[in-house]
Amino acid sequence: MSEPVRLSKRMSELGISSRREADEWIEKGWVKVDGKVVSQLGSKVLPHQKITIEKQASQEQSRRVTILINKPMGYVSGQAEDGYKPAVALISEDTHWKDDPSKEKFRPSQLRSLVPAGRLDIDSVGLLVLTQDGRIAKHLIGENSPTDKEYLVRVKYTRPGRLPDSELNMLRHGLKLDGKALLPAKVEWQNDDQLRFVLREGKKRQIRRMCEAVGLRVIGLKRIRIGNVRLGDLPTGQWRYLRPEEKF
């Protein structure tokens, strides 16, 4: 027989909500299991049981926004640290991209519970996702996230000659970080000093550490795509809303 699991965990597995959202809705009496309201935190369900949510939960979820920002250098992705500002500090009515095709209007309340779905180093630039939607955060940064990310990386080879093809192949597959083998990556030259990386994982300073391992020094790093969502023409330091039809 299948083992019962926490209701909030099951809702997260089904893509209904994040666990935190689920717990909030359970406390408010907005969750039903087989047609009956469940309001006790920690309640468990069996996999075959039907979970539904009240319209209040759907309405609350639909008001949650996801923001795409072209992060400049010098900003951290999450909490402020060592005197550096977090990327969320860049989000205001003044920095909202004038060519944003979304019809969503900026409200200060949108800054509440807005968290980075993935990180971008302080000395890296480009596409950063900030969201109030736990489902998107889970999809992008979950342990088994299927979403790939694309980077343009300007490099300088620190050894004589050019980077050998054998070392380029090591970047693609064969390196270890922190004692653990990295997943295969797509790595190819764009021009004489710029590489294109496509990764499906995001260990701390991963690309920089990969490059160091084969004698490359990173001069500049820019993320240009996450899944099906591209940075495009979004100017540095400005932001726009993820549109309803856009899917990572």
Residues designated as active site? 121
Residues 86, 83: Cα–Cα separation, whole Å: 10
Q: What single DSSP character describes residue 44?
A: E
CB neighbourhood size of 95 (10 A): 14
Candidates 21, 50, 56; CA nearest to 36 is 50
Alpha helix segments (H runs only) across the chain: 7-13, 19-28, 55-62, 134-141, 165-172, 206-213
Residues 154, 116: Cα–Cα separation, whole Å: 25
Residue type, 170: M
Determine the 3-state secondary structure of 245 from DSSP.
Answer: coil
Structure tokens at 181: 């083998």
Residue 227 near residue 248 (C-beta atoms within 8 A): yes
